[in-house]
């Protein structure tokens, strides 16, 4: 008599996995156990089959759990261009994307420096982070976008972008980097064909417009000559006066500016000052490169130190993804104002 006929029926209702294992055991026993075997031997073989199936099930479950843990710890880096060929007067966007399974705090990402570029200029940058569900799994995407404009016609290059990160659960640190990207900058093209049938009409309109312009100009000259007193010519504002005015406008609207926008405008003013005052170009360079160039110039130590502090503070907030207080923003404006305001 088969041993499974002596088992209590409640054994088959303990759980779904147990039921499956029992059925597999019973089915396998039909091929292995024969009726001539002793009852004790039958029981021993059934027990051995049951243990084997239990071990196989546990092994498969452990392997599945290991694979799931590996997938959750995986992080990927990719880079893409909006266009690899574009005219010199337009822009293209470089998008650097970090992707991993899990929540936003599964990895700690160090601030990302802008990529080094050749024959290109970074005109703006932004960043974002989002978490969504993909096939029932939580996926986090952190994106960095850089708008690039060509300097001249020909080949341009975007250097490697390195991202340093740390796994918050294991504490392990590592880095990922993209490959260099080449793109082509094409010349401006604006070819328009002139319809010769419209030439007489165009000439007539041009003559009429010329007469009108001449009459307006003549009227303005007569009016100006008849004025009794002419206003004194006002000299154009200096570089420092112009930039201080921009600082005042930023300070007056401080409450309406996000940290990223505020530090982006402050960095732009600082780089404009270095460009016009010391002929130190920094629009297409990283902050580290600008500071290296700055140290080679013979500037007063206080001035050089304030400019470095402003640039580093801008990078820390722009790429560090944190808000700064109103007092910190005012302190940065004060540092820059001390550089721009004339002594005394």
Give the mean pLDDT per block of 10 residues along the chain (344 residues): 38 46 61 63 70 65 42 79 92 95 92 93 93 91 94 94 93 94 86 58 88 87 68 74 88 82 86 84 79 81 85 80 78 87 65
Cβ atoms of 154 and 119 closer than 8 Å: yes
> What is the C-alpha radius of gyration for the chain, rounded to an integer number of angstroms?
36
Q: How far apart are CA 116 and CA 273, in angstroms?
A: 22
Picking from 96, 54, 52, 50, the residue whose alpha carbon sits closest to that of residue 76 is: 96
CA dihedral sign, ordered 27, 32, 34, 38: negative
Beta strands in 82-230 (DSSP E): 85-87, 91-101, 107-109, 117-118, 120-134, 137-150, 154-158, 162-167, 173-177, 181-186
Going by C-alpha positions, the residue among 9, 195, 163, 185 that lies closest to residue 77 is 163
Give which of 321, 133, 337, 169 is closest to 245, Cα–Cα. 337
Is residue 156 a contact partner of residue 118, using CB atoms and an 8 Å limit? yes
Between 287-296 and 301-318, two packed helices, what is the crossing angle to 10 degrees? 180
Give residue 145's pLDDT.
95
Q: What's the sign of the alpha-carbon dihedral 292, 298, 301, 305? A: negative
Supply the pLDDT for residue 116: 94
Bridge partners, residue 155, by sequence: 184
pLDDT for the residue 148: 95
Task: Compute the CA torsion angle 269, 272, 278, 283 (nearest 10 deg).
Answer: 110
Look up the pTM and report it: 0.38
Q: Among candidates 183, 121, 177, 185, which has minimal Cα distance to 157?
A: 183
Category of 321 on φ-ψ map: left (φ > 0), alpha (ψ -120 to 50) or beta: left
Helix-strand-coil percent breakdown of the chain, rounded to 5? 50, 20, 25
């Amino acid at each position: 008599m088969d041993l499974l006929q002596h088992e209590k029926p409640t054994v088959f209702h303990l759980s779904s996995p147990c039921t499956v294992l029992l059925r597999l055991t019973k089915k396998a026993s039909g091929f292995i156990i024969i009726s001539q075997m002793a009852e004790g031997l039958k029981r021993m073989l059934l027990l051995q089959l049951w243990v084997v199936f239990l071990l196989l099930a546990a092994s498969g479950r452990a392997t599945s759990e290991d694979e799931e843990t590996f997938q959750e710890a995986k992080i990927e880096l990719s880079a893409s261009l909006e266009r690899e060929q574009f005219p010199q007067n337009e822009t293209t966007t470089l998008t650097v994307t970090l992707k991993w399974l899990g929540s936003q705090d599964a990895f700690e990402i160090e601030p990302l420096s802008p990529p080094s570029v050749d024959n290109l200029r970074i005109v703006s940058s932004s960043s974002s982070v989002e978490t969504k569900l993909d096939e029932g799994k939580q996926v986090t995407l952190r994106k960095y976008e850089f708008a690039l404009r060509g300097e001249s016609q020909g080949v341009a290059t975007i250097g490697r972008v390195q991202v340093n990160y740390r796994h918050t659960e294991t504490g392990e640190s590592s880095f990922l980097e993209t490959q260099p990207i080449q793109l082509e900058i094409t010349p401006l093209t604006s070819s328009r064909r002139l319809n010769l049938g419209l030439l007489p009409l165009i000439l007539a309109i041009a003559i009429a417009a010329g007469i009108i312009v001449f009459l307006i100009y003549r009227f303005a000259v007569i009016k100006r000559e008849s004025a009794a007193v002419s206003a004194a010519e006002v000299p154009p504002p200096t570089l420092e006066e112009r930039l201080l005015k921009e600082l005042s406008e930023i300070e007056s609207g401080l409450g309406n500016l996000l940290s990223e926008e505020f530090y982006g405008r402050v960095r732009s003013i600082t780089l404009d000052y270095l460009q016009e005052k010391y002929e130190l170009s920094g629009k297409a360079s990283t902050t580290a490169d600008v500071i290296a160039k700055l140290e080679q110039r013979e500037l007063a130590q206080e001035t050089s130190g304030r400019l470095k502090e402003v640039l580093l503070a801008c990078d820390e907030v722009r790429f560090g993804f944190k808000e700064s207080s109103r007092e910190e923003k005012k302190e940065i404006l004060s540092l820059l104002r001390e550089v721009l305001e004339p002594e005394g």
